Amino acid sequence: MLYRNGLKKVMFRLDAERAHHITIDGLRRMGKIPGALSVFRGMYAVPLYRELQTKLWDITFDNPLGLAAGLDKNGEAVPAFSSIGFGFMEVGTVTPKPQAGNEKPRLFRLPEDSALINRMGFNNVGAEQMARNLQGNTGRAIPLAINIGKNKVTPNEQAEQDYRECLRLLYPYGDFFVVNISSPNTPDLRNLQHGDELKRLLAAVMDEREIQSRKLQAVKPVLVKIAPDISGSELEYIMDTILASGVSGVIATNTTVSREGLRGAAAAEAGGLSGRPLSGKSSEVIRSVYRLSQGKLPIIGCGGIFSAQDAYDKIRAGASLVEIYTALIYEGPELIKEINEGLLELLRKDGFKRLSDAVGADVL
């Protein structure tokens, strides 16, 4: 309870982005102190439960709970995050060239809603520096996903070159990759989810994956991260394109532009909303994606997970793995073990022998 009873109060007195940078810098430094990661594992490690272990794309995930993209944007604190109980993690979003992102302030807490609003705008050090960061991270013990995007100044007509460049520079360092076309904070980025632009982009990404896989003799999965603000025939068309592309899976979902039902003072701020208000919407998208793919395309569920029941609902809706971000800010690393142990209880209660048996149980 170290975070909830003490550190959280201190961090929440600070500007949200300043607290974010202090956290990442602190974890980065801790990862280089002899013995520090062992202390983290002693405090937060999740025991290996065979029921929770999952294998996807020839990658073994010791538990289904991962860290979503956006927290460790530059891959600086991977050893520390690898030591607090996660089953996997995402770094990024990274772009080929460094960029400062949008003007500050651009990150806002909504405690009344257990939510965040961000309009960061893919602020990151660029793919070359991330590669150096990841090359120097020797303490990683969990699968690593790298979330890739395009620079703000790159027009959509040339976007495929940015995604290719990220794959080219970072392919040796990730276990799988996530194509981010769904952030609301880069102008026109979400247009890449539609029509011929999506077809061309995914064809280029898969072609680059093929080039890099021949060089390294390793075929690594590529997933697509989609927005929660799509439904009906629009989602059907997107899924037809994704299924035809040969990508390995979907992350559902990114942040939402909806502000329905919010109470927080920052509700009117522009940007993407994450946290508890996103829970139902993201689960609906997961359910639709699972149905449209007939359960054949693995899904990572993300959005509004604050408890084992939240995670379980997404698994039963069709997610094979799940991710948190906002809940970690509000509840701290203790939550990771709580969710995993709660999932184990829920699986046993429903008579499932393995987590994979529960995937999509409420859909097909």
Q: Can you give the three-state secondary structure of the chain, one letter per residue?
A: CHHHHHHHHHHCCCCHHHHHHHHHHHHHHHCCCCCHHHHHHHHHCCCCCHHHCEEECCEEECCCEEECCCCCCCCCCHHHHCCCCCCEEEEEEECCCCECCCCCCCEEEEHHHCEEEECCCCCECCHHHHHHHHHCCCCCCCCEEEEECCCCCCCHHHHHHHHHHHHHHHHHHCCEEEEECCCCCCCCHHHHHCHHHHHHHHHHHHHHHHHHHHHHCCCCCEEEEECCCCCHHHHHHHHHHHHHHCCCEEEECCCECCCCCCCCCCCCCCCEEEEHHHHHHHHHHHHHHHHHCCCCCCEEEECCCCCHHHHHHHHHHCCCEEEECHHHHHHCCHHHHHHHHHHHHHHHHCCCCCHHHHCCCCCC
Please, which residues have CB within 8 angstroms of residue 32's CB and are 6 or more apart in sequence?
none
279 is known as an active-site residue:
no
CA distance 136 to 253: 30
**Among the options 183, 245, 293, 320, which is catalytic?**
183
Range 40-77 burial, b when 16+ CB lie within 10 A, else e: beeebebeebebbbbebbeeebbbbbbbbbbbbbbbbb
Active site residues: 183
